[in-house]
Amino acid sequence: MSELNIRETMKQLMEASGVSGYEQGIASLLKEAFSHFTNDVRTDKLGNLIARVEGEGAGPRPSVLLAAHIDEIGLMVTKIEKGGFIRVTNIGGVDPRTQVAQEVVVHGRDGDYIGIFGSMPPHLTSMEERGKAAPLADLFIDIAMPEDMVRDKVRIGDTVTIRRTPFELKNDRISGKALDNRASVAAVLECLAELKRLKVGVDVLAVGTVQEERGRVGAGPVAYGLQPDIAIAIDVTFGDMPGAPDDSSFPLDGGPTILVGPNSHRRITADLEATAKQLNIPYELEYTQADSGTDAFALQVQRGGIPTSLVSIPLRYMHTSVETVCYRDIERAGKLLAHYIAGINREYVEGLSCYLKD
């Protein structure tokens, strides 16, 4: 199994598309990346991609599920207008204001077609109009073809994604679409690469979950099926930027965040933190009072309950096509997860269910 360039893999995953419910393409790309770590890769009934990386030594070994969702927010065709212009609705949380004047890819029946979200020229726009932001239903996509060709190639229900080549910014930062959550997929790959070096006695179930953006659809069933001893979701969290709330946004290049709150097993939170300190990995604590808004919320309550936590990558401009992360934070998250996993044994797992004092 050859060395995988994870940074480049992440960029390929970002540029590819996988709107919630339509993750097959992205799953097959990720399968190829997983194949550098294991031959045991499969897909479950919902489309979750599961890679089983066996640990060292005799079984049964404790198992840890790492869940990073592979779907992304996007759009779906609702109507083809006279002239061949395409109307869309959203899949997941999309701010229509960020869609105006973007290049898009319409994923048609037999191929992908490049389009542009249209805009009226300023020469013909009144000042009053410029004071209003159009709702998504008023926007339209132009795929630069006559109407009959559009009708032949595009159907109601086809998905649409923003077309964006990832950008390298200064200070190891990368910008583009779908870093939510391909940044976390990269963190899982970084973790697997580190585990290969560490040789641990733990089975790792690296999972690309589906339909997180539609309400964490994939994570529950996959955890139910795999019955891991511990589950850790990896997702993105809000990067600091002007206007972001101080108590729930985090600096880029300040390290991953570790969840504090009822959605995280308190011992795992503490041990992740201790691991980070031990390794001199910078980190931040993310305080969440109930639902973390991630796969972790679904993972925690499968079967008889699964000790769960969440590690997140700070990301600016979430749910836009210029999402931005610092790649060092991804490497740090991978390293943190790997070294935490290295400390897990049967006794540790059992201890996670012990709450009483004698």
Partner 1 sequence: MLLKRLTEAMGPSGYEDEIRQVIYEEIRQYADRVYTDSMGNLIAEKDGTRPGPKVLLCAHMDEVSVMITHIDNNGLLQFRHIGGIDDRILLSKPVMIGEKRIPGVIGSKPPHHQKPDERKNPVGLSQLRIDIGAKSREDALKYVKPGDVAVFATEYEEIGHRRAKSKSFDDRVGCAVMVETIKKQFDVPVVFGFAVQEEIGLRGAGPLAYRTNPDISLVLEGTLAADLPGAAPHGYATELGKGPALSIMDGSSIHNREFLAHMKSVAEQNEIPYQIRNTTAGGNDAGRIHLSREGVLSGVVSVPTRYIHAPAQLISLDDYENTILLVEKFLRSVEQGGLGQ
**Which member of 8, 133, 278, 305 binds partner 1 (CB under 8 A)?**
133
**Which member of 40, 81, 152, 350 binds partner 1 (CB under 8 A)?**
81
Spatial CA neighbour of 197 closest among 41, 338, 328, 327? 338
Edge to edge, the sheet with strand 167-168 lists 167-168, 173-176, 323-326
Q: Applying CB under 8 A, does 274 fall inside the site for partner 1?
A: no
Per-residue x/- mask for partner 1, residues 289 to 318, rule CB under 8 A?
Answer: ---------------------------xxx
Residue 212 known to be catalytic: yes
**Which member of 78, 89, 119, 353 binds partner 1 (CB under 8 A)?**
119
Which of the stretches 44-52, 132-140, 191-199, 296-304 binds partner 1 when contact is defined by CB under 8 A?
Answer: 132-140
**Which member of 9, 17, 48, 102 binds partner 1 (CB under 8 A)?**
102
Cα(279)–Cα(194) distance, integer angstroms: 13
**Which member of 38, 98, 282, 301 binds partner 1 (CB under 8 A)?**
98
Spatial CA neighbour of 276 closest among 292, 257, 295? 257
Q: Applying CB under 8 A, does 122 fall inside the site for partner 1?
A: yes
Size of the site for partner 1 (CB under 8 A): 63
Least gap, CB of 206 to partner 1 (angstroms)? 27
Least gap, CB of 184 to partner 1 (angstroms)? 16
**Which member of 301, 322, 342, 349 binds partner 1 (CB under 8 A)?**
322
Q: Applying CB under 8 A, does 94 fall inside the site for partner 1?
A: yes
Q: At what angle do helices 6-15 and 24-34 cross, to 10 degrees?
A: 170
Output the six-digit token pair for 108. Answer: 């048609």
Q: β-strands 203-209, 63-69: how paired?
A: parallel
Is-contact 326 173, C-beta < 8 A?
yes
Considering beta carbons, is residue 263 or 302 the nearer one to partner 1? 263
Q: Applying CB under 8 A, does 142 fall inside the site for partner 1?
A: yes
Catalytic residue of the set 190, 212, 323, 331? 212
3-state helix, strand, coil in the chain (%, to 5): 35, 25, 40
201 burial via Cβ count (<10 Å: 0-12, 13-18, 19+)? middle
Q: Is residue 312 classed as helix, strand or coil in its secondary structure?
A: strand
87 burial via Cβ count (<10 Å: 0-12, 13-18, 19+)? middle
**Which member of 238, 283, 297, 340 binds partner 1 (CB under 8 A)?**
238
Q: At what angle do helices 6-15 and 179-198 cross, to 10 degrees?
A: 160
Which of the stretches 21-29, 112-120, 202-210, 347-355 binds partner 1 when contact is defined by CB under 8 A?
Answer: 112-120
Separation in Å, CA 33 to CA 52, 62, 309: 13, 24, 25
Binding site for partner 1 (CB under 8 A): 81-83, 85, 93-98, 100-103, 113-116, 118-125, 130-133, 135, 138, 140, 142-146, 149, 164, 167-173, 175, 238, 241-245, 253, 316-322, 324
Active site residues: 212
